[in-house]
Chains A and B, each alone.
Chain A
C-alpha cells in the first residue's frame, strides 16, 4: 500500500502491511542513498492516554467507540477528519491545518492506552499530537516516561543507545557581570544577550546546575550511562530522555530499532514493522501496568462503611513523596509548577502552613482533574485523589527530573522489574 493514503486501511492486516512496506522501503532508501526520498518518512508511534469524562458516579467508560466519539467531537477544532475502519479497534484520523497534513491509524486495542501510528512528516505529526490534541483536549494526555521507566527498557529490549537531557528551570543565581560566566559576545549561561547602557549594571543569570544534552550510541550503551551516573562530580544531572531499543532474530536477518522518547513518541527503523510493533506494545503494556499500579497504591479513597448497627469512613491510599537531592527554593518551584504553563501545567494557589512549607490544592490542566501538593525545600508530597489519573504522577516525576532535580528520589515505581527496592535514588 506504499504511496496510498492510510485512509484506505480497513483492518489490522492492511495496517501491518502498509506500515511494513513504508518502514522497509525507508530502510532500503536510507541504506542506499543515506537520505529519504521526497515524502518518505520513518514510521512513528505516539503513545497517548485516553481519559474520558467520568459519569456521575466518577466512573470512566473506556471503549474504542468512546475514543472515536471524543475524537470526532474535537475534530473540527483541529481541521481533523475521523472515520472508523472495519476493525473496531482501529480508527483513521487525518489532520490538515495551514501547510501541515498528517494521517494516523489509531490503535485502540487497549482503549485507555492508545497508539497513534503514522508515516507522515514528523513536523506535522509532532505539531498535531503535542501542540493540538494533548494540549487542548483534556481527554488525551501523552505518556510520560520517567528515568526509572526508561532504564527498565533494558529488561525487555537490547539497548544500543540513549539520550540524556536536562534543562534547569529553577536553579539560576544572579552574579555580577564582572564575575559572570558569559562569553565575549555577552551571551550569558542562559543565552540572553545584554546590550547597551544596561550591560554594565546588569546582573547575569548563571546556572547552578549545567544544562545538558547528550546522545550516545554504542553497544551496551546503558553501561556507559550507569558509569556516568556514578560520578556526579563530572555531570551532576544525566536524566535519560530516550533509549534506543533493538529487537530482531539472532542473525539480524530481520530487525527493528526504536527510539523511545520520554514523551511517549517512538520512532522506528529497520526491516520488520511487526518486530517494531512488539517494542511499541511492550512499552505500552509496561506503562499501562505502571499507571494502574500507581493508582491502586496511591489513590486516596474514602469509602463509606454502612451497616445496620454502625456507619463510618475508611481511608485507603497514601501520598506519593519525592525527596530532593538538595534543598530547593520553594517559592521559585511553586511559581514554576503552578503557573498553568508548561512543562507542569498545574493550576493552584499556595497556602502557607509553616515557614517554608506550603499546601496547594491544584488542578492538572492536562486532564482537568484535582490533586494536592505539600512542598518544602526538601520534600514534595503529592495527594492523588480517587479518579485522578496516575499519568499525572509520572508526568510530575518526569518533569521534575528533567527541569528541576534529576537526582531526586521517590518510592520504587511498582511493576518495574529493575526497581524493586524501596527507594530509587537516581
Chain B
C-alpha cells in the first residue's frame, strides 16, 4: 500500500492528536504539531556569507521534555539527500530565531532536534540501502497498512526512538485522512482534483452564479490562501483552471458555460434554486452522481467515455478557440 503525500501527512499528524481509532504515539510523549511546511532561512555552514532556505514538511515539538522532531515525507522512490542535508544542521537557536517556534530561551542549549524521513514501505529497500551505505545521520521510518517502524538511525528522544523501533501497530487502526485535505504545492494530483471538484460542488449547491480558479482557491483555502507564496498560488490556480476546463468539457458540461470575453470564468447552470422545491433533492442527487463519476475517473485516470450531454458549442471543442491554459496573463 502506497500512501500519497497528503495521506502520509494526515497519518503522521494524526499521531500527535488524540483521535479515536488511531494511535496517539506522539501526543502520548508530549509532542504537539508545531508547524506544517515551515519555511525558514538558515546560514549555510559550508559557504560563508550564504543562507539557504529549508522547508521541513512537519515540525513536532515536546516543549515539556525539550525535544523536537523534524519530519520529511517522501511518497515515491529515493531522490537523493538534498533536502535532508539542508535539515540536518538546523540548531534549536535557529528554530527559535528564524522559525519563530515557541521554545523558551532557557531551554535552547539543552533542546534536542531529531531529523526523520518517512517513506512508503514499498520503497524501503532502496532507501535503506542508501541510508546504510552512507551511514546517514537521519532516521528512516516506513509506513504501510500494518505498521509504522524505524529501520535506520536513532531519534534523540529515547522513548520515542524505542517506540518507533518496536513499530507502531496500525493494522486494525483507522487512518485519519481529512485533517488536511490538500495543500497547493502537493504532488498528490487526486487530492488537488478532488479539492477543485468539491469546491465547485459547494458553489453549485449554494446557487452561486459563476466560478473562476480564484473563487475555487479562496473556497478551498479560505484565509490561508494569502499565506502561500506566489509560486504556490500560481501552481494551484493553474491546476484549478485546468480541472475546471476539463469539467466543462466532460461530466459537468450541462452545469457550466464559459463566460464570453472572460478568461477562465464559467457561469453555473441548473443550480438547485432553479428547480422546483419538490424536485430539488432529485436535482442534487443527479449532480452528486456526476461528482462521483468525475472523481472516480480522476482517481483511476480514465478518459471521459461519453459524448457531451448537451449540444456541444465551440467552447467545448479543444483547439477551436484559444485554450485557457495558453493564456498566462491571468488576473489574480
**Distance from A7 Cβ to chain B, minimum over Cβ atoms (Å):** 26
Q: Is the CB of A311 within 8 A of B285?
A: no
Q: Which of B133-141, B173-181, B313-321 contacts A (4 or more CB under 8 A)?
A: B173-181
Please measure, in the bound complex, the distance between the C-alpha atom of A349 and the C-alpha atom of B293, giving whole angstroms. Answer: 10
Q: Is the CB of A323 within 8 A of B37?
A: no
Contact among B38, B176, B178, B198 for A312, CB-based, below 8 A? B38
Q: Is the CB of B288 within 8 A of A309?
A: no
B267 interfacial contact with A, CB 8 Å: no
Q: Chain A 358-385, CB within 8 Å of chain B: the 1/0 string?
A: 0101010100111010101011010100
Contact among A56, A57, A309 for B40, CB-based, below 8 A? A309
Q: Is the CB of A136 within 8 A of B21?
A: no
Given A305-B35, A309-B97, A313-B35, is A359 in contact with B178 using a C-beta cutoff of 8 Å?
Answer: yes
B201 interfacial contact with A, CB 8 Å: yes
Given A381-B176, A383-B178, is A304 in contact with B39 using a C-beta cutoff of 8 Å?
Answer: no
Please measure, in the bound complex, the distance between the C-alpha atom of A312 and the C-alpha atom of B227, giving whole angstroms. Answer: 8
Question: What is the interface of chain B mostly: helix, strand, loop, or mixed?
Answer: mixed
Among residues 375 to 424 in chain A, which have CB atoms less than 8 Å away from a CB atom of chain B? 376, 378-379, 381, 383, 386-387
Given A136-B277, A306-B227, is A353 in contact with B98 using a C-beta cutoff of 8 Å?
Answer: no
**Distance from B81 Cβ to chain A, minimum over Cβ atoms (Å):** 23
Please measure, in the bound complex, the distance between the C-alpha atom of A318 and the C-alpha atom of B21, giving whole angstroms. Answer: 13
Max chain B CB contacts within 10 Å: which of A58, A303, A351? A351
Q: Chain B 54-73, CB within 8 Å of chain A: the 1/0 string?
A: 00000100000000000000
Contact among B40, B145, B288 for A354, CB-based, below 8 A? B145
Please measure, in the bound complex, the distance between the C-alpha atom of A312 and the C-alpha atom of B55, giving whole angstroms. Answer: 9
Q: Which of A92-100, A240-248, A339-347 contacts B (4 or more CB under 8 A)?
A: A339-347
Please measure, in the bound complex, the distance between the C-alpha atom of A374 and the C-alpha atom of B17, giving whole angstroms. Answer: 16
Contact among A314, A321, A368 for B20, CB-based, below 8 A? A321
B222 interfacial contact with A, CB 8 Å: yes
Q: Is the CB of A136 within 8 A of B198?
A: no
Among residues 171 to 228 in chain B, which have CB atoms less than 8 Å away from a CB atom of chain A? 174-181, 183, 194, 198, 201-202, 205-206, 218, 221-224, 226-228
Q: Is the CB of B205 within 8 A of A319?
A: no
Please measure, in the bound complex, the distance between the C-alpha atom of A312 and the C-alpha atom of B218, giving whole angstroms. Answer: 18
Contact among B178, B218, B226 for A304, CB-based, below 8 A? B226
**Distance from B19 Cβ to chain A, minimum over Cβ atoms (Å):** 6
B153 interfacial contact with A, CB 8 Å: no
Given A310-B98, A381-B19, is A359 in contact with B177 using a C-beta cutoff of 8 Å?
Answer: yes
Closest B residue to A356 using CB positions: B174
Given A370-B198, A379-B21, is A313 in contact with B98 using a C-beta cutoff of 8 Å?
Answer: no
Q: Which residues of B contact A351 (CB under 8 A)?
A: 295, 299
**Distance from B194 Cβ to chain A, minimum over Cβ atoms (Å):** 7
B270 interfacial contact with A, CB 8 Å: no
Please measure, in the bound complex, the distance between the C-alpha atom of A381 and the C-alpha atom of B34, giving whole angstroms. Answer: 23
Q: Is the CB of A305 within 8 A of B174?
A: no
Given A58-B222, A313-B227, A354-B145, is A368 in contact with B206 using a C-beta cutoff of 8 Å?
Answer: yes
Please measure, in the bound complex, the distance between the C-alpha atom of A339 and the C-alpha atom of B129, giving whole angstroms. Answer: 50
B162 interfacial contact with A, CB 8 Å: no
Q: Is the CB of A310 within 8 A of B179?
A: no
Closest A residue to B201 using CB positions: A363
Given A351-B295, A363-B202, is A309 in contact with B100 using a C-beta cutoff of 8 Å?
Answer: yes
Given A340-B285, A341-B281, A347-B205, is A372 in contact with B41 using a C-beta cutoff of 8 Å?
Answer: no
Please measure, in the bound complex, the distance between the C-alpha atom of A339 and the C-alpha atom of B40, giving whole angstroms. Answer: 46
A300 interfacial contact with B, CB 8 Å: yes
Question: What is the interface of chain A mostly: helix, strand, loop, or mixed?
Answer: strand
Contact among A56, A361, A378 for B194, CB-based, below 8 A? A361
A302 interfacial contact with B, CB 8 Å: yes
Please measure, in the bound complex, the distance between the C-alpha atom of A321 and the C-alpha atom of B14, giving whole angstroms. Answer: 13
B280 interfacial contact with A, CB 8 Å: yes
Please measure, in the bound complex, the distance between the C-alpha atom of A354 and the C-alpha atom of B19, giving whole angstroms. Answer: 18
Among residues 106 to 164 in chain B, which have CB atoms less than 8 Å away from a CB atom of chain A? 145
Please measure, in the bound complex, the distance between the C-alpha atom of A310 and the C-alpha atom of B292, giving whole angstroms. Answer: 39
Q: Is the CB of A310 within 8 A of B174?
A: no
A315 interfacial contact with B, CB 8 Å: yes
**Distance from A414 Cβ to chain B, minimum over Cβ atoms (Å):** 15
Given A347-B288, A349-B291, A365-B205, is A319 in contact with B176 using a C-beta cutoff of 8 Å?
Answer: yes
Q: Is the CB of B178 within 8 A of A374?
A: yes
A348 interfacial contact with B, CB 8 Å: yes
Closest B residue to A53 using CB positions: B206
Q: Is the CB of A58 within 8 A of B38?
A: no
Contact among B35, B218, B277, B284 for A314, CB-based, below 8 A? B35
A357 interfacial contact with B, CB 8 Å: yes
Q: Which residues of A contact B222 (CB under 8 A)?
A: 57-58, 302, 386-387
**Distance from A40 Cβ to chain B, minimum over Cβ atoms (Å):** 32
Closest B residue to A360 using CB positions: B178
A307 interfacial contact with B, CB 8 Å: yes
Given A304-B223, A310-B38, A312-B38, is A349 in contact with B174 using a C-beta cutoff of 8 Å?
Answer: no
Contact among A311, A314, A348, A363 for B39, CB-based, below 8 A? A311
Max chain B CB contacts within 10 Å: which of A136, A321, A369? A321
Q: Is the CB of A374 within 8 A of B176?
A: yes
Given A307-B100, A321-B21, A349-B288, is A312 in contact with B175 using a C-beta cutoff of 8 Å?
Answer: no
B256 interfacial contact with A, CB 8 Å: no
Contact among A309, A319, A369, A386 for B19, CB-based, below 8 A? A319
B258 interfacial contact with A, CB 8 Å: no
Contact among A304, A319, A323, A347 for B228, CB-based, below 8 A? A304
**Distance from A398 Cβ to chain B, minimum over Cβ atoms (Å):** 19
B36 interfacial contact with A, CB 8 Å: yes
Please measure, in the bound complex, the distance between the C-alpha atom of A2 and the C-alpha atom of B17, giving whole angstroms. Answer: 58
Among residues 266 to 303 in chain B, which have CB atoms less than 8 Å away from a CB atom of chain A? 277, 280-281, 284-285, 288, 291-292, 295, 299
Q: Is the CB of A340 within 8 A of B284?
A: yes
Please measure, in the bound complex, the distance between the C-alpha atom of A340 and the C-alpha atom of B224, giving whole angstroms. Answer: 30
Q: Is the CB of A353 within 8 A of B224?
A: no
Q: Which residues of A contact B33 (CB under 8 A)?
A: 314-315
Q: Is the CB of B39 within 8 A of A312?
A: yes
Among residues 250 to 268 in chain A, which have CB atoms less than 8 Å away from a CB atom of chain B? none
24 residue pairs from A and B, CB less than 8 Å apart = A57-B222, A304-B224, A306-B227, A309-B40, A309-B100, A310-B39, A310-B100, A311-B227, A312-B99, A313-B37, A315-B180, A319-B19, A319-B176, A321-B21, A323-B20, A349-B295, A354-B174, A357-B174, A365-B205, A368-B206, A372-B181, A374-B174, A381-B178, A387-B222
Q: Which residues of A contact B (CB under 8 A)?
A: 53, 56-58, 77, 136, 138, 300, 302-307, 309-315, 318-319, 321, 323, 339-341, 347-349, 351, 353-354, 357, 359, 361, 363, 365, 368-370, 372, 374, 376, 378-379, 381, 383, 386-387
| Closest A-B pairs by Cβ, 6 of them | A304-B227, A321-B20, A349-B292, A312-B38, A312-B35, A310-B40
